[in-house]
A and B are shown apart, each in its own frame.
Chain A
Amino acid sequence: MKVKILRYNSENDSSPYYQSFQVPFSDDDEYTVTDVLDYISVNIDPTLAYFKHSACDHGICGRCAVKMNEKNVLACTTVVDCSRDMVLEPVSEKHLVKDLVVRIP
């Protein structure tokens, strides 16, 4: 599946840009958005920033929200449709820290 992610690192980038990743997941299992992000982080681009510190991965801490195809979801419990492309963006432009990471006060 193709995953398009909005990237932005204020130290290097003048403005946000989309980057596409090819992730080899198929519908033989049920993967979450976090599974997709973990795959990219481990195997393709370790610089990708998404919420992943002291994370529960089971919808308990509620801190991993991202925008998936225009809809705000918890990354760790939201199952992805491997048969179609996916766009991931941060849930808030105003509170953006880096890539998909936001810090909402």
Chain B
Amino acid sequence: MTQPLLIGLAGLGVLVFLIAIRMPIAYAMILVGGVGVTLLNGPAIFMSQLKTLAYGQFSVYDLSVVPMFVLMGALATRAGLSQDLFRAANAWLGWLRGGTAMAAIAACAGFGSVCGSSLATASTMGRVALPELARYRYSGALATGTLAAGGVLGILIPPSVVLVIYAVIVEANIVTMFMAALLPGLIAVVFFILTIAIYVLVRPDAGPRGSAGERAEFIAATKGIVPVLVIFGLVIGGIYAGLYNPTPAAAVGVFLVAVFGIFRGKLDRAGVKGSLLETAGTTGMIYLILLGAEMLKIFMSRAGVPQATAEWMAHSGLAPMTVLLLLLLALVVLGCLMDSLSMILLVIPFFWPVLVEVNGGLYQTADAAGFGMSTEDLKIWFGILALIVVELGLITPPVGMNVFVISSMAKDTPMSETFKGVMPFFAAELVRVALLVAFPMITLWLPKVLGG
């Protein structure tokens, strides 16, 4: 092993240590990247690169959708879209056994179609649906588990901030990735609803049946989903149809949500201010991690770590599918400890070259490839799989951000109950991953049809 490679691997060890002692992940990457490059090539290089790196990284056009989707979600929360969605879903599903929980899932999916983040979806829908679930005497485990899991839909259904970041890292087309995510996202919704159905079949007391609403309420409630349908249609539909690129689409979305919120009188001065500050907090956090990841990448490239890993994996003699499953497993394990965005930024730069290598190289065509698909298709397929397993981290113990958020809202349900309640959904997700691994066409079909 060469000396730079050793320094690189030692750097990864230090990185893990710093993260473990509560160093913000962005600063841990910045510190290791900066010191690493300095050790390898002296101080001048890193110092010079710092002159332009931050501005260069922050001004990547493809990333500009990130603050916009964050702002759109923040405004949607305050514009009251979440209540409308839940009311409509409850009118449709509430009369079933476990129906109010199913409605919460459907509403999460609806909110996820205008919001790019899981935490925002979980916290927004939690605020709306938890009191209702308590009113219908749902068990604490099922109620909180449902919302923690439902929050994941915020990122599985486009728009999705994490998917944008993945696309930027592997240089995939964001539009194609958004197309690929839709069908797997809808399958997740169906699986989650089935999970609740089975749950209440086994434990009937956990989710009582609601009453069928009156016809007038049914119609009034259903009308409530029109704004979300219009906004999703114009934003994501507009992207699919090619009316515009993701950034202008997101801008149109922000504009529509803001106008709608102001028009119905829900979005006041304080609401706008709150939305902007939420955007500031989330965007600042994401961009700082992006900068840290770029610094880490520079160090790792100079040390030759990604190249060595890819070569080692390619010559390990493992079957391509084994490699893929190992990588996904690693993501699940890491997901127990870290948040999704940091994970994507930290490991995809290492994992992606490995997959390209075992697939037979960057310009591989489908017939000769390890996975039986072109590198372009592999990029899409793996992106969706990675997105799912990374998001699983949000609901797995010990660190599950969605569970934390929901627990902090449901004071009378202990966190252990929430983790218990979320486990059936975790199982459903594993089934879904298996399905998507076995049938890549589920992911690749829509981009093909829509010509992505």
Do A and B interact? Answer: no
Interface set of A (CB-CB < 8 Å, partner B): none
Interface set of B (CB-CB < 8 Å, partner A): none
